[in-house]
Structure 1
């Protein structure tokens, strides 16, 4: 029975030849099993790093088995991590606020009042007002969109503001 030359693969030349011999095959194994999305090249390199870190415990005849098992486990861990991320992304997150329940209720009532007041505007006033206040358009742009004069836009927005102040009075 022949005695192995090396007890482990900590020899740099031995490890370099081991890397050159097995990297492409390991990459292909990971790529075909898990696809490109999980970075098989990175996981293959990480597996070789683990082999190097544990080289004093790995004999040359067990190195390939250790390498493939480690790489496979790294990929499985990554798959499980991705599943957790997806599950977390799918569950709706409850919004927590530091505001008191009274404040939240008042804010909701205020927003409802504003929406009703905007609904009560004439269509011409509502369109001009929302183009200006929500979309940030200038009077000249609104006039071009609605095919009216700038003065007409000013009058509509002024009328909308006057009516909104009256309807929302007391807030």
Structure 2
């Protein structure tokens, strides 16, 4: 059944009239029911945005009901989310690891050696190597990005890998 064009809330002046008529009441409803911590101004605005997004599906007679229902549901969803957050915060957080202090020390020392070894590479080798191994880009993508051929990229990655292997013990990257 086609809508009456005079009652189409997708028209700017009709939507503006709805906003002027119901925005303060909706804000006050949310403020009195849930308090200031639920951001009643934001929820009011979000409800009107949802009304605008659904203006073709909502009649003028149902606009007030739609606004109040949507705003109320948004606040209830936020409260439910806050309960989940609070329950998670109540759970004891794990403050230990299964790694030994020796392993953690070795890891830190290896990371320092790795940073130094990376710094010793030429810029071209380091860029190609990191784009491939850290960011996971393909040789063809790197070649296109750097403006070189695939063979040049392969050579840079190979030489970088060889230098890193020579400087670091137990260096393996796939």
TM range (shorter): 0.5 to 0.7
SS, match of residue 55 in structure 1: coil
Q: Rg larger in 1 or in 2?
A: 1
CA contact (8 A) 1:47 1:67 kept: yes
Task: Find the aligned partners of 2:88 and 2:12 in 1 and give their Cα distance.
Answer: 43
Which one is further off, 89-98 or 79-88? 89-98
Which one is further off, 36-45 or 89-98? 89-98
CA contact (8 A) 1:8 1:60 kept: yes
Structure 1: tracts of 5 or more residues without a match: 105-171
Task: Find the aligned partners of 2:5 and 2:56 in 1 and give their Cα distance.
Answer: 14
CA contact (8 A) 2:8 2:14 kept: no
SS, match of residue 61 in structure 1: helix
Residue pairs, 1:1-171, within 5 angstroms: 4-97=4-97, 99-100=99-100
- CA offset at residue 87 of structure 1? 1.0
Task: Find the aligned partners of 1:73 and 1:96 in 2 and give their Cα distance.
Answer: 40
Structure 2: tracts of 5 or more residues without a match: 105-174
Post-superposition Cα deviations, 1:129-171, rounded to whole Å, max 9, x if no partner, equal xxxxxxxxxxxxxxxxxxxxxxxxxxxxxxxxxxxxxxxxxxx
Scaled by the length of structure 2, the TM-score of the pair is 0.54
- CA offset at residue 103 of structure 1? 7.0
SS, match of residue 31 in structure 1: helix
What count of residue pairs does the alignment treat as equivalent? 102
SS, match of residue 9 in structure 1: coil
Which residue in 1 is equivalent to 2:133? none
Task: Find the aligned partners of 1:51 and 1:36 in 2 and give their Cα distance.
Answer: 23
- CA offset at residue 73 of structure 1? 0.2
- Runs of 4+ aligned residues of structure 1 deviating over 4 Å after TM superposition are 101-104
- CA offset at residue 33 of structure 1? 0.6
Which residue in 2 is equivalent to 1:149? none
Task: Find the aligned partners of 2:7 and 2:56 in 1 and give their Cα distance.
Answer: 8
